[in-house]
């Protein structure tokens, strides 16, 4: 316990040797209990190793030499759902649906981010103010899409096997939700209180990623309280380590899962467990299939999928050479580095196991940490007061999910249509905000109705509940009809005003 002075001295010595002993500034003011919890946290970190991580991460971001070896993907490496023939798409869909129906697909939600740009106190999945007519949150939309996908796959299996639907066992697409200290509790309580939006709790696996200390600009740990080092989630690349440590990979392997669709929580148009993407992975034998789309402008905040020394490399927008990002191909008039990464990928379970095994043996730091300059609230060492800086004052380090791509033996890139699959909620207002998400969902659903031969009256918001349609299918009944805007959860909600 705390009375053990040798233990305290040993910890102090380690932090002193690393030049981080300022963390003990308030030690004398702490109660025994506060000291004990602080010691536990201090012992969980290796300050010398963290200094090295900080130094490498900040040096890495300044290093522009690698850009000399960078090249865009060759167009032949990119397939697109926009240019694929309907036969190709049908084949991918059939393959994917078959795998889903055989319970070989899972979905992994990346929901550990702090959503600082959105500025909500709640995890993004529970964000209440998207303003949809149904008042749904992102978690609800996603849960309902999984529900519908399971139903579609079961129907598909019944059809293929010639069995009645009743004799086909339920299909399960496990929903693995990666949270962090910042989001876990609220996400867990929210989902439980909503009874998992109709999904079975047995098939929802909530797990937690790791954290890493926050640094000031000189590489010193910041304090969140007088007895706590400020920490932040260690980036969405913390996934691979967490999947193994939290037993998720074992669980998925036990269930016979072969492919996992990993996606970002904030994309309102996400096609969760997309059969076309999974079928594409099966057909190409890819262990990673990254969905992508052309960037709309050089400065669009999307990573760029490129090649570096022959290997696949995603360069985060904040780390890209601005000159290269702005290069235009004279022949096409498009950006040379056009292939935007949208944090939406299908990974084979074999690859996830391989990567997490490598990280377990060699340490999570095998992947590079990326620095981000942020405003980090902290305790001022001179005054002991908690301060909320107005300008960026420190550095958060993050692992990126795409930094394992060079380990893939076979990488595939599938371009998809933005208006059908991508609209992220990053900011509180303006671009990529709740209002653009609402607009894009509305436009897509109006389009689905148009494609099914129907018409929407007026400009008011339209929303088709995921249980009614996963991706525009099953809307034949709107043909020749005009629908008054609103939230359609079932056919009964539709008010036909003209026939």
Of the pair 136, 426, the CB lying nearest ligand UTP is at 426
Residue, CB closest to ligand UTP? 113
Shortest distance in whole angstroms from residue 202 CB to ligand UTP: 23
Rounded CA separation 271/142 (Å): 9
CA-closest candidate to residue 203, choices 241, 262, 252: 252
Shortest distance in whole angstroms from residue 324 CB to ligand UTP: 21
Size of the site for ligand UTP (CB under 6 A): 22
Choices 138-146, 228-236, 290-298, 410-418 (CB under 6 A): range interacting with ligand UTP: 228-236
Q: Helices in 371-489 by DSSP H: which ranges? A: 418-421, 434-451
Pairing label, strands 105-110, 78-80: unpaired
Return the residues of window 232-261 that contact ligand UTP according to CB under 6 A: 233-236, 238
Q: Does 22 bind ligand UTP (CB under 6 A)?
A: no
**Chain centroid to CA 342:** 9
User: Which residues have CB under 8 Å from 189's CB, separation 6+?
Assistant: none
Q: Does 227 bind ligand UTP (CB under 6 A)?
A: no
Of the pair 265, 325, the CB lying nearest ligand UTP is at 265
Rounded CA separation 343/403 (Å): 12
Q: Which long-range contacts (CB under 8 A, 24 or more apart) does 492-497 make?
A: 497/457
Return the residues of window 114-143 that contact ligand UTP according to CB under 6 A: 114-117
Shortest distance in whole angstroms from residue 253 CB to ligand UTP: 22
Q: Does 210 bind ligand UTP (CB under 6 A)?
A: no
Residue from 100, 110, 153, 359 binding ligand UTP (CB under 6 A): 110
Rounded CA separation 221/373 (Å): 14
Residue from 47, 72, 112, 340 binding ligand UTP (CB under 6 A): 112
Pairing label, strands 259-264, 105-110: parallel
CA-closest candidate to residue 327, choices 9, 72, 44: 72
Of the pair 104, 183, the CB lying nearest ligand UTP is at 183
Choices 76-84, 108-116, 242-250, 289-297 (CB under 6 A): range interacting with ligand UTP: 108-116
Shortest distance in whole angstroms from residue 238 CB to ligand UTP: 6
Burial 231-269 (b: 16+ CB within 10 A, else e): bbbbbbbbbbbbbbbbebbebbeeeebbbbbbbbbbbbb
Return the residues of window 383-402 that contact ligand UTP according to CB under 6 A: 398
Residues lying near ligand UTP in the complex (CB under 6 A) are found at 110-117, 178, 180, 209, 233-236, 238, 264-266, 343, 398, 426
């Amino acid at each position: 316990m705390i009375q053990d002075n040798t233990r305290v001295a040993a910890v102090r010595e380690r932090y002193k040797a690393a030049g981080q002993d300022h963390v003990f500034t308030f030690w004398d003011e702490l109660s025994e209990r506060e000291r004990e919890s602080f010691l536990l946290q201090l012992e969980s970190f290796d300050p010398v190793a963290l200094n090295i991580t900080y130094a490498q991460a900040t040096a890495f971001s300044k290093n522009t030499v690698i850009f000399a070896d960078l090249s865009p993907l060759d167009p032949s490496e990119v397939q697109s759902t926009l240019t694929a023939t309907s036969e190709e798409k049908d084949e991918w869909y059939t393959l994917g649906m078959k795998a889903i129906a055989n319970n070989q697909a899972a979905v992994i939600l990346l929901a550990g981010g702090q959503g600082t740009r959105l500025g909500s106190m709640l995890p993004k999945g529970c964000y209440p103010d998207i303003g949809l007519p149904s008042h749904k949150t992102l978690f609800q939309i996603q849960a309902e899409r999984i529900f519908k996908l399971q139903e579609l796959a079961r129907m598909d299996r019944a059809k293929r096997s010639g069995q009645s639907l009743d004799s086909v066992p339920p299909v399960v697409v496990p929903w693995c939700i990666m949270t962090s200290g910042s989001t876990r509790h609220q996400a867990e309580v929210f989902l439980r209180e909503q009874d998992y939006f109709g999904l079975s709790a047995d098939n929802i696996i909530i797990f937690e990623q790791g954290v890493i200390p926050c640094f000031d600009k000189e590489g010193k740990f910041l304090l969140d309280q007088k007895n706590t080092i400020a920490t932040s989630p260690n980036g969405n690349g913390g996934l691979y380590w967490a999947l193994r440590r939290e037993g998720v990979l074992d669980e998925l392997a036990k269930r016979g899962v072969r492919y996992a669709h990993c996606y970002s929580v904030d994309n309102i148009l996400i096609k969760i467990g997309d059969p076309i993407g999974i079928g594409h992975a099966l057909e190409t034998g890819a262990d990673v299939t990254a969905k992508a789309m052309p960037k709309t402008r050089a400065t669009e905040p999307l990573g760029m999928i490129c090649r570096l020394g022959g290997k696949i490399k995603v360069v985060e927008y904040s780390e890209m050479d601005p000159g290269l990002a702005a290069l235009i191909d004279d022949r096409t008039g498009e950006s040379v580095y056009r292939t935007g990464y949208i944090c939406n990928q299908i990974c084979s379970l074999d690859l996830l196991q391989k990567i997490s095994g490598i990280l377990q043996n060699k340490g999570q730091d095998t992947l590079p940490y990326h620095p981000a300059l942020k405003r980090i609230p902290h305790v001022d060492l001179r005054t002991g007061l908690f301060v909320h800086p107005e300008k960026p004052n420190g550095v958060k380090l993050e692992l990126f999910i795409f930094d394992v791509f060079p380990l893939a033996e076979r990488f595939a890139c599938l371009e998809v249509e933005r208006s059908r699959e991508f609209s992220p909620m990053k900011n509180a207002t303006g671009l990529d905000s709740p209002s653009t998400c609402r607009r894009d969902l509305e436009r897509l659903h109006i389009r689905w109705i148009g494609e099914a031969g129907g018409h929407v009256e007026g400009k008011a918001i339209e929303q088709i509940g995921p249980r009614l349609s996963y991706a525009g299918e099953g809307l034949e009944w709107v043909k020749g009809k005009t629908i008054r805007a609103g939230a359609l959860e079932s056919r009964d909600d539709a008010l036909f005003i003209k026939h």
